[in-house]
Structure 1
């Protein structure tokens, strides 16, 4: 059996044209693990309401951050893939959960190189139903239909892996070392509260009450909320941050159902209104900079902070193709490649 790796990121529209953005949003929002309601209701919400208004607005947002080479998320993912390939001896493929290149395309390319055992690497530090789980479910569906000769293993969530914590901490330290800041906000992508409870394998632990994430439990293996707070805690500890100088929030909510709180936009405005003049933002739910980090935080967040009375607002870049991160990811892959062949 020949081993290979498939790096999988979120995805992006093919262009900033409204039709391409609409196609991307349709695939993304119709995912039952993103909007987890019955199909007919989901179709009504997405196709009957959201896709009639949001694509044009989203297209304008993408235009603000689009690079000459294309979507920042795609370009940065390709750079990561190339650098990891240079440090490994197994084929490294790249795919997106939504849009192009698709997971099937990525597996096709690996299969063409004779790969029969694939390490799936969801490029998300924390596990969530709407990120890691949807990648694994779709990949397995595609494997059974098109690549029955293949077997999969999966890189576990690495939110608390000491190498990841070190790399993330160093990237924050290096980017902020010549800048003054009064508060650093760790902003994670938001999910509905019901996703946390649906992912609770104990069916009883997750109460989202301020204590359950601190109480040891098997549920934490798949608890996005716990994993976000744990990433913040370990990075703050590694960097020696004092209590009160950092906090955690969640961004990008949709609809009226309760999402994880506190909300990033309200938190940013609240600090500025409370007298904070210099603020730094880290976005550890994302490995690659994308619309949510570059536009939602870097542009909208900054504007809100300044309008509410703040003065300096700095967004720390994602790990992207950071040399230290590339070396760590490559080492994880090489360690897996050196193990005996397994199946799953």
Structure 2
């Protein structure tokens, strides 16, 4: 069998205009693993309410971060794909969960090169039903419907892999050079608390209060909250950071149901009012800089922190297409190619 690799990231509108943002948001928000309400209610919320105003607002946000080459997420992901491809003899394709760069197109590209055994790589370090899980489910759905002769192996969430922790830690250390921080905030993408409970295979372990994270459980394999805090703890240990100068929070949320806390925007204000003057912010839920990191954190976050009394603010970029991150991904793919082993 001929092997190939499918990298999958979130996706992006084709342009930072309401016309292109609207269908992108429609596909994203109508995903039952993003807004997990019954379809009739999801349709009412998304198409009857959210899409009436959100596309204009989101388009303005995209315009603030859009590059000359296009969407930062797309450009970075393409650069990453090209670098990974250059280190391998296997075909490597890039697809997006949402938007015009579809998973179907990427699998078709691999098929045209004779590939019938695919390593699916969701470009998310952590497991969440609204990110990692929806990529896997959509990819397998497309494969079974359009490419039934293909076999697919999925790379697991790699948040605790020692090599990944080293690459992430080294990237953070590089970002902290010449910045005299008095606090580091690890800001992870937020999800509704109910997603944690839905992803708990035991249906009783996750309490979302921290107590359950200290008890070893199969639930940790699919618990986004646990995996985020575990990532922070592992980086603290690897970098030998002062725990009193590090905390974690969750950004981006929709009104209504409770989402994971503490909220990042609240933390900007709290930290500034507690006397923190030099704040560094890391966004380890993403491997590629995107709207949520470049606009919400790098721009809005700085404004919020400084308005609350903070003085100096540093957003540390994601791994993007850094040589160390590319080298690690190539290493994992080569291991799979040679003996089917995957990072743990």
TM-score strictly above 0.5:
yes
2:335 & 2:144 partners in 1: Cα distance? 27
Report the equivalent of 1:182.
182
Alpha carbons of 1:114 and 1:179: their partners in 2 closer, same or farther (altered >3 Å)? same
Residue pair 1:192, 1:259 contacting (<8 A) in 2 also? yes
Matches within 5 A, 1:262-281: 262-281=262-281
Residue 5 of structure 1 pairs with residue 5 of structure 2 = yes
1:290 & 1:261 partners in 2: Cα distance? 22
2:103 & 2:145 partners in 1: Cα distance? 13
Report the equivalent of 1:199.
199
Q: CA deviation at 1:92?
A: 0.6
Residue pair 1:61, 1:291 contacting (<8 A) in 2 also? yes
RMSD over aligned CA atoms reads: 0.9
1:108 & 1:219 partners in 2: Cα distance? 35
TM-score (norm 1): 0.98
Report the equivalent of 1:232.
232
Q: CA deviation at 1:175?
A: 1.4
2:230 & 2:88 partners in 1: Cα distance? 30
Report the equivalent of 1:20.
20
Report the equivalent of 2:303.
303
Residue pair 1:214, 1:226 contacting (<8 A) in 2 also? no
Report the equivalent of 2:122.
122
Provide the aligned length of Structure 1 versus Structure 2.
341
Q: Name the SS of the counterpart of 1:213 in structure 2.
A: helix
Q: Name the SS of the counterpart of 1:201 in structure 2.
A: coil
Q: CA deviation at 1:100?
A: 2.5
Could you tell me which runs of 5 or more consecutive residues in structure 2 were left unpaired when the two chains were aligned: none
Report the equivalent of 1:106.
106
TM-score (norm 2): 0.98
Report the equivalent of 2:336.
336
Report the equivalent of 2:49.
49
Report the equivalent of 1:78.
78
Q: CA deviation at 1:340?
A: 5.9
Q: CA deviation at 1:204?
A: 1.1
1:195 & 1:213 partners in 2: Cα distance? 16
Report the equivalent of 1:321.
321
Q: Name the SS of the counterpart of 1:118 in structure 2.
A: strand
Report the equivalent of 1:289.
289
Residue pair 1:187, 1:251 contacting (<8 A) in 2 also? yes
Q: Deviations over 1:185-235 (max 9, x none)?
A: 000000000000000011110011221112110100011000000000000
Q: Deviations over 1:95-123 (max 9, x none)?
A: 00000210000000000000001000000
2:158 & 2:104 partners in 1: Cα distance? 25
Residue 157 of structure 1 pairs with residue 152 of structure 2 = no
2:224 & 2:210 partners in 1: Cα distance? 14
2:140 & 2:216 partners in 1: Cα distance? 31
1:139 & 1:174 partners in 2: Cα distance? 35
2:101 & 2:252 partners in 1: Cα distance? 24
